[in-house]
Chains A and B, each alone.
Chain A
């Protein structure tokens, strides 16, 4: 993951990703292909790098942050990985180190640092989950007291919404340019 220029870690945007200029992306962030990042979304990698997979949808005022804990910046364990086909709705906040595929973090939800989302989890609106655990697959967390239940199947992927946004957003916003993908070690 060595950056040949050396002084500042950069943002690597995959081909086909739609990232609006108004989105704030700081630190070492890798964004996969066909991901849509709305304006005013914030991806802040201060404690370590963030790797985002493909076909994700990150909406306005969502905050995906890899926070700095203390003074140490540990490159190896501090990487936040987010899989593919996830949806981060408006105003949510995600600090989890590992997020799998097909998860939905609904509006104004909070996922703490110690939690890990596997696949197909849905964190309901305004729910906070900060316990140190890995949520089993297809878990739904909802309600004021954060009730849980397990779904039979994972939530359907938002392909229709992604296609629509990839057509419409470039009409109204300037986009950040895609960078050439670097070969992984």
Chain B
């Protein structure tokens, strides 16, 4: 079953973005009932965490610390994680000069390139963590000045934009305040509220003089030391470009000046459908957990087509290919396969004869692997010329493929129509319908899929 590993053999067309992706890369929005790809969703930062100590950090704190962990360091030479090692040193006891007491001294060391904090002359510390100092940025004042200036500029531009917007929509403001139910209107009216408060109070600050001293050019530049022309470069003591640029504030020349930096934080991201603003993927808060609170991936909702077996394919000769359909939901699903109408952007290089009747897939049952299997399913009357075999929620069936192009891969395209039990529909109903309907409605959904069957065989 190499089909499990070659995932990009079977690609599904995402209707909104127009890109073809395997089913494992698509999401399924339960409310819009549509497939979404990574480009049709909005990506948001969920939480920050350090990859080494797995410590969660609230976003405000992360912003202050410039997205760096407080405890962990990166090796300046190879950028792996530094670990703290201890040696015990004997120092004379102040009470009893005859007996030396052993104290622990800590230093940072890299397990990969064997860099230690002693290489740059940093003395060993007496506490395990929290004592390591990073040297100050020599240009921090100038940077802060520039950052403040640009922040004020951005604030002023935002206010002007808001002022233009609400002067057009002033009449609707009180209406929006009443119906603050959906997320998007809440966001918009929040901005309106803030803009209004800013305007009313701080008119005078608008005319504040915002300016910053520009950079001055210097005429005489420090000359190169004459040793550059005479002495050969000692490669062992000079930094590589990567090492130098990883510390943009100091840009040291020599490795003796390379200080360790705090480790960069990673983020957990959540994804949201752009149309209905519901979350499609939301990870757990705990950094060491890889599970999801919400995981609406296409694999769990949409029947999957897989290649089961391919015979040798010859040009313009009809051969029988076995495909497999796998049901992802826990109720019976009917699947109809239809040929794709030919258009200008045809990806298919072979024509395919699909089974005319509906294929019925059994429900996915998680306990099926523990029961004794009786492999014939009397409740499904399967046509043996159409169906190869059926096992639990899988069904293998035959299609006839005739390759039409003499070179290149054999690609067939088909439309898969399946019925889906819409569980999320109850949230969309109004109060009157709630008494009548108890059953979730069944809708027919479809997707287009292209299957790459591989290369042709020469006769």
Closest to A139 in B: B236
List A contacts of B327 (CB < 8 A): none
Contact indicator per residue, chain B 224-240, by CB within 8 Å of chain A (1) or not (0): 00000000000011000
Q: Say whether B114 contacts A152, CB under 8 Å.
A: no
Question: Contacting A142 at CB < 8 Å: which of B114, B116, B118?
Answer: B114
Q: Say whether A152 contacts B77, CB under 8 Å.
A: no
Query: Which residues of B come within 8 Å of A, CB atoms?
Result: 77-78, 112-116, 118-119, 236-237, 255
- Give 15 pairs: A residue, B residue, CB < 8 Å, sorted on A: A124-B112, A124-B113, A140-B114, A142-B112, A142-B113, A142-B114, A143-B112, A149-B77, A149-B115, A150-B237, A151-B114, A151-B119, A152-B118, A153-B116, A155-B114
Q: Is there a chain B Cβ closer than 8 Å to A122's Cβ?
A: yes
Known contacts: A142-B78, A143-B78. The answer to whether A149 contacts B118 by CB under 8 A is: no
Known contacts: A142-B78, A143-B78. The answer to whether A149 contacts B255 by CB under 8 A is: yes
Q: Say whether A122 contacts B118, CB under 8 Å.
A: no
List A contacts of B236 (CB < 8 A): 136, 148-150
Q: Say whether A153 contacts B113, CB under 8 Å.
A: no
The 8 closest A-B pairs by CB, nearest first: A150-B236, A152-B119, A142-B113, A140-B114, A122-B114, A142-B112, A151-B114, A152-B118
List B contacts of A140 (CB < 8 A): 113-114
Closest to A122 in B: B114
Q: Say whether A143 contacts B116, CB under 8 Å.
A: no
Q: Say whether A152 contacts B116, CB under 8 Å.
A: yes
Known contacts: A142-B78, A143-B78. The answer to whether A153 contacts B114 by CB under 8 A is: no
List A contacts of B255 (CB < 8 A): 149
List B contacts of A143 (CB < 8 A): 78, 112-113
User: In the complex, A143→B243 CA distance in Å?
Assistant: 15
Interface residues in A122-181 (C-beta closer than 8 Å to B): 122, 124, 136, 140, 142-143, 147-153, 155
List A contacts of B115 (CB < 8 A): 149, 151
Closest to B114 in A: A140
List B contacts of A151 (CB < 8 A): 114-116, 119
User: In the complex, A151→B77 CA distance in Å?
Assistant: 11
List A contacts of B113 (CB < 8 A): 124, 140, 142-143, 147, 149
Q: How far is the CB of A182 from chain B (nearest CB, A)?
A: 38
Q: How far is the CB of A123 from chain B (nearest CB, A)?
A: 11
Q: How far is the CB of B85 from chain A (nearest CB, A)?
A: 10
User: In the complex, A147→B115 CA distance in Å?
Assistant: 13
Closest to B236 in A: A150
